[in-house]
C-alpha cells in the first residue's frame, strides 16, 4: 500500500521539486520510503508502505530495458502465479515485489493484462518508448485515483490534496457539492474540486504525447451472469472460491490483523483466517462505554474467543471521537459525511501501532444483499418511483428535504437538479434478464461502495500507515454473490441468507441470524446545547458556508435543531464541508492536529 502522484507537461520538463511536494502530501500513505521518476515532461512520485519484499520492493520499478516505468498503490494478490507464467515467457524479474508483475504483464499483453490481475490497485505506467502514460484502477475501486487535465498538462494522485500544488486557486465543483449534500458523498466522475475527476473502478486511461486521452472500462459488475444454482450447488462452489480468495489475500511479509465487529462478515473472516494463520490473529473492535448507545463489543469478544484470536477492544469517549473530526476530514479529502469515519479512524490509529495490514468485511452487504433497503415493501418503492422516476424507487431519498432547498444559493440549487443522475444511470444499465434485487446491488456497487465505503476503508487506514484488505470484494466473489438467485440472498425480512447459511458451520444460528444494529455515533446528541451554539458561530464564520448557502436558511436549520427537532444529519454535512473548505480551498491541504475541537478549528 502506497501513495502515487505525477503529471505530464506538454511544453516543459518535469520539475523534481514539484514532485517532492506532491509526495510530501502523501507521506502518510507511504512512511517507509519515497521515489521519483522524471523524464522529459513526465514526472512520477511514489511513497511506500512496505508489505511485500520489504528490502527490494522500492518504487519506481523498471522493466529489463528500462523502457517502462511503474508506480503502483495496492497489492497484486496473484503475483506468484503471474510471475511463474511470465518467467516461462522469458521475463527477468529484478525484485520480489508483487507490483513488478504489472510491468512484465503489460509488456506481454498490453491493456488486456489488467484482466489477469487479481487485487486492489491503482497505478501509473510510463511507456517511454511510445511516449504514453497509462493509469488504471482495480475492478471495484478499492484503491483511489484522481486526475485533472488542462490544455497543457495532465496530473494525477491517490488523494486530492496531492493535486493542490498544480491546481492554482482551488474551486468547488457545484455538481459535486450538490451530490455530497444529498448523498453524503460525490459520485464518479465528480469530486468536490472543480476540474478534478475520479478514475472509475475497473477503468484505464491512456495519455499520448499530444495530450489526447483514451478511457475504457475493462471490467464492471455487468460482467456478471445470473446463476441457476441450488443451495447445495452454491454452497459447494463457494467452499472452493472463498478458500482461494483467502489464501491469496493472506500473502504478506508482515503480520495481519482484523477489524472485528461481531457481525456476519467480519466474524466469517475471523473464522477463515484463523484456520490458516500460523500465529493467533490480532483482532480489534471499538464501542462506547455509554450503555445507552448500542455497540457490539460483547458480540465481537464472543467471536474472538471462539476463534482464538488475540483480541483488543477499545472504548471510545464521545468527546474523543468528535475531536478527531478535522483530521478525519483531512484524511478523507474526497469528502464523505459518513459518521463511521470517526471510529474507524481511531481504530486504525490504535491498530497501526502494532500492525501494518488489517482485514475488514466491506462489501459483504453489497455482494450478498445484506441491506434493509434491498427488502423495501412495494408501497415504499412505488412512492419513491412516483416521486423520483428513473431508478425503480431505489435511492430516492436525499439528505435535504424539499423544504430545505431554500438553503442553497441559486448556483448550487441549479446543480442539485442532477444529484440522482448517477443512481438513475446505474439502474438502467443492466440487461432485462437481471432481477430488481440485482439492479439494486449493482447501483450500490457502482456508487455507494466506491464513493463512500471504500473511501472510508482506504483513507481512514492510510492516514495512519495501515493497509486495509477486503476479501469480499475479490471480483470473483462479487460475480458469484451478485449472480446468486434472489431466493438464496433474501428470505422474508432476512438478508444475506446465503452467507449466513454457509456460516453455520462456524457459528450458531443465534449469532448469525440476530439483527445487527451496528456501531452508533451519537451525532444527534453532540449537536445540542453549547455545542449547537458553537456550531452556529462556526458556520457563520465559514467562507465556504457563506459562499454557497443562504445565511437565513442555515440559521433556520440551527433553530429547528435547538427546538428539539432533528436536523443533525444536514448540520453534520455542513460542518464537514466547512472544515473541508478551510483545509482544501482556504489553506494548502496540510494535516491539522490529530485531535482538535472542530468548532475551534473553524473559528481559530
Residues noted as catalytic: 2
> CA 2, CA 29: separation in Å to the nearest integer?
5
CA atoms within 13 A on the CB side of 53: 19
Residue 147's nearest CA partner among 137, 139, 138 is 137
Q: Which residues contact 233 (CB under 8 A, 6 or more apart)?
A: none
> CA 353, CA 59: separation in Å to the nearest integer?
25
> CA 388, CA 7: separation in Å to the nearest integer?
41
Distances (CA, A) of 60 to 2, 33, 95, 154, 367: 12, 11, 12, 19, 35
Q: What is the DSSP string of 19-88?
A: HHHHHHTTGGG-BTEEEEEEETTEEEEEEE---SSTTT--SSEE-TTS-EEEEEEEEETTHHHHHHHHHH
3-state secondary structure of 171: coil
Query: In degrees, to the nearest 5, what angle opens at C-alpha 602 toward C-alphas 600 and 184?
Result: 115
Backbone φ, ψ for residue 320 (5° rounding): -65, -40
Q: Are strands 256-259 and 282-287 parallel, antiparallel or unpaired?
A: parallel
> CA 116, CA 85: separation in Å to the nearest integer?
11
CB count in 10 Å sphere of residue 342: 24
Q: Are strands 61-62 and 68-76 parallel, antiparallel or unpaired?
A: antiparallel
CA atoms within 13 A on the CB side of 87: 11
Question: Residue holding cell 505530464?
Answer: 8
CA atoms within 13 A on the CB side of 160: 29
> CA 302, CA 88: separation in Å to the nearest integer?
48
CA atoms within 13 A on the CB side of 339: 14
H helices within 204-340, ranges in order? 231-249, 264-274, 297-307, 318-322, 325-332
Dihedral in degrees, nearest 10, Cα atoms 562, 566, 570, 573:
80
3-state secondary structure of 79: helix
Backbone φ, ψ for residue 314 (5° rounding): -110, 135
DSSP state of 421: H
> CA 325, CA 347: separation in Å to the nearest integer?
14
Give strand pairing partners of 217: 203
Q: Which residues contact 332 (CB under 8 A, 6 or more apart)?
A: 341, 455, 456, 459, 460
Q: Where are the beta strands (DSSP E) in 390-512?
A: 467-469
Displacement of CA 126 from its chain's centroid (Å): 26
Backbone φ, ψ for residue 494 (5° rounding): -100, 120
> CA 362, CA 374: separation in Å to the nearest integer?
17
CB count in 10 Å sphere of residue 383: 12
Q: Cell triple for residue 596?
A: 482538535
Amino acid at each position: 500500500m502506497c501513495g502515487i502522484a505525477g503529471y505530464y507537461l506538454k511544453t516543459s520538463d518535469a520539475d523534481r521539486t514539484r514532485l517532492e511536494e506532491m509526495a510530501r502530501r502523501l507521506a502518510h500513505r507511504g512512511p517507509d520510503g519515497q521515489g521519483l521518476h522524471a523524464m522529459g515532461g513526465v514526472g512520477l512520485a511514489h511513497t511506500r508502505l512496505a508489505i511485500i519484499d520489504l528490502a527490494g520492493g522500492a518504487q519506481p520499478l523498471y522493466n529489463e530495458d528500462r523502457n517502462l516505468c511503474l508506480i503502483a498503490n495496492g497489492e497484486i494478490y496473484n503475483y506468484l502465479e503471474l510471475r511463474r507464467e511470465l518467467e516461462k515467457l522469458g521475463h527477468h524479474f529484478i525484485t520480489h515485489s508483487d507490483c513488478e508483475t504489472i510491468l512484465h504483464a503489460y509488456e506481454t499483453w498490453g491493456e488486456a493484462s489488467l484482466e489477469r490481475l487479481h487485487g486492489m490497485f491503482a497505478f501509473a505506467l510510463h511507456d517511454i518508448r511510445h511516449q504514453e502514460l497509462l493509469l488504471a484502477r482495480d475492478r471495484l475501486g478499492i484503491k483511489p485515483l484522481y486526475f485533472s487535465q488542462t490544455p497543457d498538462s495532465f496530473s494525477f494522485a491517490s488523494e486530492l490534496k496531492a493535486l493542490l500544488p498544480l491546481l492554482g486557486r482551488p474551486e468547488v465543483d457545484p455538481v459535486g457539492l450538490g451530490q455530497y449534500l444529498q448523498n453524503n458523498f460525490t459520485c464518479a466522475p465528480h469530486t468536490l474540486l472543480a476540474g478534478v475527476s475520479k478514475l472509475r473502478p475497473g477503468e484505464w486511461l491512456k495519455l499520448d504525447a499530444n495530450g489526447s486521452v483514451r478511457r475504457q472500462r475493462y471490467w464492471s459488475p455487468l460482467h456478471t451472469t445470473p446463476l441457476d444454482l441450488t443451495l447445495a450447488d452454491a454452497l459447494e462452489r463457494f467452499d472452493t472460491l472463498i478458500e482461494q480468495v483467502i489464501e491469496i489475500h493472506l500473502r504478506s511479509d508482515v503480520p495481519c490483523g482484523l477489524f472485528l465487529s461481531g457481525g456476519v462478515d467480519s466474524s466469517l473472516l475471523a473464522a477463515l483466517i484463523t484456520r490458516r494463520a500460523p500465529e493467533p490473529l490480532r483482532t480489534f473492535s471499538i464501542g462506547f462505554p455509554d450503555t445507552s448507545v448500542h455497540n457490539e463489543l460483547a458480540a465481537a469478544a464472543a467471536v474472538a474467543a471462539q476463534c482464538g484470536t488475540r483480541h483488543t477492544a477499545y472504548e471510545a469517549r464521545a468527546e474523543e471521537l468528535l475531536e478527531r473530526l478535522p483530521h478525519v476530514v483531512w484524511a478523507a479529502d474526497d469528502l464523505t459525511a459518513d459518521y463511521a469515519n470517526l471510529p474507524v479512524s481511531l481504530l486504525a490509529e490504535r491498530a497501526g501501532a502494532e500492525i501494518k495490514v488489517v482485514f475488514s468485511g466491506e462489501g459483504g452487504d453489497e455482494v450478498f444483499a445484506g441491506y434493509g433497503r434491498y427488502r423495501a415493501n412495494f408501497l415504499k418503492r412505488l412512492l419513491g418511483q412516483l416521486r423520483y422516476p428513473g431508478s425503480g424507487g431505489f435511492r430516492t431519498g436525499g439528505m435535504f428535504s424539499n423544504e430545505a432547498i431554500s438553503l442553497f444559493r441559486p448556483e448550487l440549487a441549479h446543480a442539485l437538479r442532477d444529484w440522482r443522475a448517477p443512481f438513475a444511470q446505474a439502474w438502467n444499465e443492466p440487461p432485462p434478464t437481471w432481477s430488481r434485487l440485482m439492479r439494486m446491488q449493482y447501483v450500490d456497487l457502482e456508487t455507494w461502495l466506491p464513493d463512500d465505503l471504500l473511501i472510508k476503508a482506504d483513507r481512514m487506514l492510510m492516514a495512519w500507515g495501515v493497509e486495509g484488505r477486503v476479501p469480499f470484494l475479490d471480483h470473483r466473489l462479487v460475480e458469484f454473490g451478485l449472480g446468486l438467485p434472489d431466493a438464496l440472498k433474501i428470505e422474508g425480512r432476512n438478508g444475506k441468507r446465503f452467507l449466513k447459511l454457509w456460516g453455520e458451520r462456524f457459528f450458531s444460528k443465534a449469532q448469525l441470524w440476530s439483527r445487527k444494529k451496528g456501531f452508533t455515533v451519537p451525532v444527534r446528541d453532540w449537536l445540542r446545547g453549547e455545542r449547537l451554539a458553537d456550531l452556529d458561530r462556526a458556520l457563520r464564520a465559514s467562507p465556504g458556508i457563506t459562499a454557497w448557502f443562504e445565511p437565513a436558511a442555515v440559521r433556520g436549520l440551527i433553530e429547528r435543531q435547538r427546538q428539539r427537532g432533528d436536523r443533525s444529519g444536514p448540520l453534520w454535512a455542513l460542518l464537514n464541508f466547512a472544515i473541508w473548505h478551510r483545509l482544501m480551498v482556504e489553506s494548502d491541504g496540510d494535516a491539522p492536529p490529530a485531535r482538535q475541537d472542530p468548532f475551534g478549528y473553524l473559528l481559530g
